[in-house]
Every structure is written in structure tokens, then in C-alpha cells.
Amino acid sequence: MEQFVERVGDFIHNHQAYAGLVATLIAFGESLILIGFAIPATALMLILGGLVGAGTVEAGPVVAGAIIGAILGDAVSYGMGRWIGPGAADRWPLNRYRSGLVRTRFFFEKYGFASVFFGRFFGPVRSTIPLIAGMMAMDHRRFQLANMSSAVVWSVAMLLPGWLAGRGASELDAASYLERGAAVLAISLLLVFAGGVIAKKVSSIVSRRHGQAISKHHECCGGRSETCPGHS
């Protein structure tokens, strides 16, 4: 695994124009069920952040690539879950990981929207939560809201520590380095918390409006769309 990480780092250093694409592939792959277990995304994102901090590669393509890859990866896993259905855990090859899927399902049932947002930051459920959300037929809009908002926060939080190191830790004294490290950690945690609060708030508004629309529909025609104005 260490050799793989080193090779990827060397490739990015020698082919800087592909840094954004590499970031996309890393974030995409680590969000996919089974594949995500084999990708050392944390180490690779630290390397990317370090290269950005050192000025070796541009920040824009790397950050954008990581966000896009993270969104697409979770979206694909969610789509797979919707397509396969609740019985996915009983089919090969997922039946080999049935116990893990069951734990993730309990996590999803308990925390719902928050599990999708914060699940991206927890290794054991990172690549399985989107699949479970699809299997459980989570509302598509609510899932994508959690998916996109968490992808932005995750990408920035994962790149920040490497960026700090790349900015030239060797030029800083120990106290200054620790201060900056603490600041980066605090910012990362703040981003995660703030992103979760904002996403949860927006989700509540969307759910409330959706519920109001359903209530009006039932009041209008008792749930029979064929009798409502504007419905054919």
C-alpha cells in the first residue's frame, strides 16, 4: 500500500496537469462500495494537499476534482442501492460483508440525513452509507443535499492538513507549527459541524415543504391524483 501511495505521489509530481483528474478518481473510488475499502484516500489526499501547499500543483483543479469525484461516487453507490433493492446484502459479493451492512443500516435508520452527511468522515461506513441510503429508498433530493454539502466539506478538510505541511513546515519553529496545526484542525472540525448544521436545516425546510405539498394533495382529492386539478 505504501508503494502504491508513493507511486501516485510521484505521478502527480511528474504530471501536474493531471492532478485534478487524480483527485477526482481518488474521491470517486473511495465512495464506491468494495472499491472504497482498497483505496488509501486519506494518505493520497494528504499528498495532494501537500503538493498544493508547496505550489507544485494548482489548488483549483484539485479541490474541484475532489468535490466532483466525491459527489459522483456517492451518487453512483446510491443509484446501485436503489437498483439492487433491500435484498442486496443477500447477494454476492455483498453477502460476504453482511454484518457490516447490517451495522451501517442501523446507523442509517437511527440518524437518517445526518448519517449520509457525517458518514463520509467515518471509515467503517464511508463507502456503504450511500448504498444503504439507496436500498432504503431515501428521498433523492434529501440524499443529494447531504451528498453535495458533505462532499465540499470533506474535500476541504482532507486537503487542509497536507496544505499546511506543504506550506513549508521546515521554516516554522515548533510552537508556530503546533499553533497552525491546531488552527487547521479547529477549522476542519468547524467546517464539518457548520456544514452539517446548514445541511440539516435546509433538509428540514425541504422535508416540511414536501410534507405540506402532500397534505394539500390529500385535502384536494383524498389522495387520488386523477381527481385533482392539473393532474391527468
Q: Check residues 84 and 197 and name the one with the higher pLDDT.
A: 84
Q: Above 90 in pLDDT, residue 73?
A: yes
- Tell me what percent of the residues of the chain surpass a pLDDT of 70: 69
How high is the pLDDT of residue 72? 95
Say how far apart CA 103 and CA 96 lie, in whole Å. Answer: 14
Say how far apart CA 139 and CA 208 lie, in whole Å. Answer: 13
How high is the pLDDT of residue 177? 45
Q: Above 60 in pLDDT, residue 176?
A: no
Residue pLDDT, tens place only, 99-150: 778 888 888 888 888 888 888 888 767 878 998 999 998 999 999 999 999 9
Q: Above 70 in pLDDT, residue 206?
A: no
How high is the pLDDT of residue 194? 54
How high is the pLDDT of residue 30? 87
In the numeric block, which cell numbers belong to residue 128? 456503504
How high is the pLDDT of residue 63? 93
In the numeric block, which cell numbers belong to residue 123? 471509515
Q: Above 60 in pLDDT, residue 180?
A: no
How high is the pLDDT of residue 197? 53
Q: Check residues 60 and 97 and name the one with the higher pLDDT.
A: 60
Q: What value does the mean pLDDT take over residues 85-99?
A: 73
Closest CA to 62 of 45, 37, 75: 45
C-alpha torsion sign, points 205, 207, 213, 219: negative
